[in-house]
Structure 1
Amino acid sequence: MSGPVLLVVAHGSRDPRHAETVHALVRRVRSLEPGLRVETGFLDFNAPAVPGVLERLAFEGVRDVVALPLLLTRAFHAKADIPAVLAQAPPRLRVRRAAVLGPSPLLLAAVGRRLREAGLTDADRSTTGLVLASAGSTDPEAIAAIADMARELRHTGWCAVRPAFASAALPRTEDAVRELRASGVRRVAVAPYVVAPGFLPDRIARGAADADVLADVLGPSPELARLLLQRYGQARAGAGGPAALSA
């Protein structure tokens, strides 16, 4: 596939597992589209930083970039941090910003995959309460997106689904687990709705101590890799994201 360079923009973390997971996801994207050039840039903590990647691409003569936020919802990073850093791109680069990853049926599929890998079968859903645990945000749009995702999951056969948050919003994971137990649910599973490991996913895991099942983070799942390519294609076609930031 020829076309604009895909720049995956990740948040970054002091936890080395975060960058390792991001790079594994990018490798899977490359394996699905060997002809597509895919680069990775981080907002903080990890190298390479987004501005440095943009400078390097411009120096190499690249003219067209699609920047894809590795974010599940439109919160502060999507609305402020990423637009600000992309606006500083060299003027000879045309940078188009793709939409964030959520919502998407592929994310529902990725959550389902991780729960099956944790030992749950489709037949278990009718007797299992699910906690969809995200990192959390103070942005009402992001909170609403998590609640919408929980409602979508409820329609896939779980006997109950509760959203939870590791920070900034309530309830916490452990509170949602207790609520499901108190309602009489026989089995409780926790699905971290986060891309990569780190401080807040670890808090989710601690909050899941009294759950029966804890799924893994979404990580380099096939569904997430396909979703990145889908968002890239939409941005390249001029749909699903903001207009070009520079030209």
Structure 2
Amino acid sequence: MEAVLYICHGSRLESAISQAIEFVESCKNLRNEPIQQYCFLELSQPTISQALEECVALGATQILAIPVLLLTAAHAKIDIPFELEKAMQNYPQINLQLGKPIGINNEIIDLLFERIKQTYQPITLKTKILLVGRGSSDLDVKRDLSLIAKRLEEKINHPVHICFLTGCKPYFRELIEEFNDLEIDRIVIVPYLLFTGLLINGIRNIVEEYSQKNNNKYILCDYLGNSSVVVHALNNRIDEISFNKVMS
């Protein structure tokens, strides 16, 4: 019997956990597998090990594990495979296939454009647009976000600057500080994040801090959230694992 295991990041905020679960429930509606379970890499439960145990208890013999992540970094490359390998030692009879994070996806780039349009703010020559990623020491993250920014630039015909909240430069706070000294009319901030959480709250806090320091207009777009675009993008990644399993 086949199962899908959705591996979310996890958060200390209940609202972020609720959004992740709601997102997974939307994904489940597109699947036919009889067993579908969610879990969290850290900070929340069920853990990967607990969810795998539940899948096996429900009769799973094949498990499609999918990271509920936007970009490929250490979590996808190291942490999730490590946790899965450790847990799977208890189930040598089970066939497990691990999929990829969503990655660079043209439909999600369209969604970013839509998030900008939803602010109803004009984009002028004096407007700065910031695409804000979580950040990582993994160089692939910076490369991928740069490619996404480039495609978004082409779509809106306006420069898009990338920055990060942690892990690599340029940092969001530093870029906001740098823009302080420029003659601009507004800064449009586009979070490249799935759900609410401490990172979104951090962006809001920095925006509030700098709003009190100067006359710049800060426009914070909505994060990606439980959009059907993101749901379908993740579903396509699950299809890839299933197809590869059949072909192998």
Shift of 1:10: 0.8
Corresponding residue number in structure 2 for 1:35: 32
Asked if residue 91 in structure 1 is aligned to residue 86 in structure 2, the reply is no
Secondary structure of 1:22's partner? helix
Check conservation: 2:101, 2:234, Cα contact below 8 A. no
Higher RCO (CA 8 Å, separation ≥ 6 residues): 1
Which one is further off, 151-160 or 178-187? 178-187
Which one is further off, 132-141 or 83-92? 83-92
User: 1:194-246 CA distances to partner (integer Å, 9 max, x unpaired)?
Assistant: 1112222222223334453101221111111011111111111119xxx99xx
Corresponding residue number in structure 1 for 2:220: 214
Instruction: Calculate the TM-score normalised by the size of structure 2.
Output: 0.85
Corresponding residue number in structure 2 for 1:24: 22
Percent sequence identity is: 22
Determine the C-alpha separation between the residues in 2 that align with 1:207 and 1:109. 27
Check conservation: 2:70, 2:102, Cα contact below 8 A. yes
Distance change (3 Å), C-alpha of 1:187 and 1:179: same
Check conservation: 1:130, 1:158, Cα contact below 8 A. no
User: 1:118-137 CA distances to partner (integer Å, 9 max, x unpaired)?
Assistant: 334xxx34554310011111
User: 1:167-200 CA distances to partner (integer Å, 9 max, x unpaired)?
Assistant: 1222222333454565544332101111112222
Equivalences, count: 235
Which one is further off, 202-211 or 12-21? 202-211
Which one is further off, 141-150 or 200-209? 200-209
User: 1:29-51 CA distances to partner (integer Å, 9 max, x unpaired)?
Assistant: 233x2634432110112111111
Check conservation: 1:73, 1:101, Cα contact below 8 A. yes
Distance change (3 Å), C-alpha of 1:234 and 1:34: closer
Secondary structure of 1:237's partner? helix
Specify which of 67, 70, 74 is matched with residue 68 of structure 2. Answer: 70
The one-letter code sitting in structure 1 at the alignment partner of 2:44 is N
Query: What is the aligned-residue RMSD (CA, Å)?
Result: 2.4
Corresponding residue number in structure 2 for 1:165: 164
Check conservation: 2:37, 2:55, Cα contact below 8 A. no
Question: Which runs of 5 or more structure 2 residues have no equivalent in the other structure?
Answer: 212-216
Instruction: Calculate the TM-score normalised by the size of structure 1.
Output: 0.85
Corresponding residue number in structure 1 for 2:133: 134
Determine the C-alpha separation between the residues in 1 that align with 2:114 and 2:5. 26
Determine the C-alpha separation between the residues in 1 that align with 2:77 and 2:138. 10
Which one is further off, 158-167 or 126-135? 126-135
Question: Which runs of 5 or more structure 1 residues have no equivalent in the other structure?
Answer: none
Asked if residue 235 in structure 1 is aligned to residue 241 in structure 2, the reply is yes
User: 1:84-129 CA distances to partner (integer Å, 9 max, x unpaired)?
Assistant: 1111222222111111111111221232233333334xxx345543
Distance change (3 Å), C-alpha of 1:117 and 1:91: farther
Corresponding residue number in structure 1 for 2:101: 100
